[in-house]
Amino acid sequence: MSTTYLTIDDAPSPELGEKLDWAWTVDVQDWAIDTRADLREEIESVADQFRSPSSDIPLFHDAGTAPDLLDELLETLRTQDVAFGDPLELVAE
């Protein structure tokens, strides 16, 4: 399972005047996960990232091969007090 973290920063751009420009910082982590225990271990290794206030967006890709691990991942993140919300709330109307 691969995990990509995207950090969104609101950065006004001189070229765009008052328009919003987006800056993306990408931190890619490739996890070799075969069991739920492996998953919990990997999440614990980055738990501080989830506990700090940020605009981080974890993206997960497992090519649809491990839906049970995705369920476990989401549940484990919830136990780390990770909040999930509507991504459209990040975009101005």
Own/partner pairs for 46-51, CB < 8 Å, 24+ apart? 47/80, 49/5, 50/77, 50/80, 50/81, 50/82, 51/80, 51/81
Q: Where are the domains of the chain?
A: 2-90
Q: Tell me the whole-structure pTM to 2 decimals.
A: 0.46
Average pLDDT, the chain: 68
Q: Average of pLDDT values for 41-65?
A: 72
pLDDT greater than 60 at residue 42: yes
d(CA 49, CA 7): 11
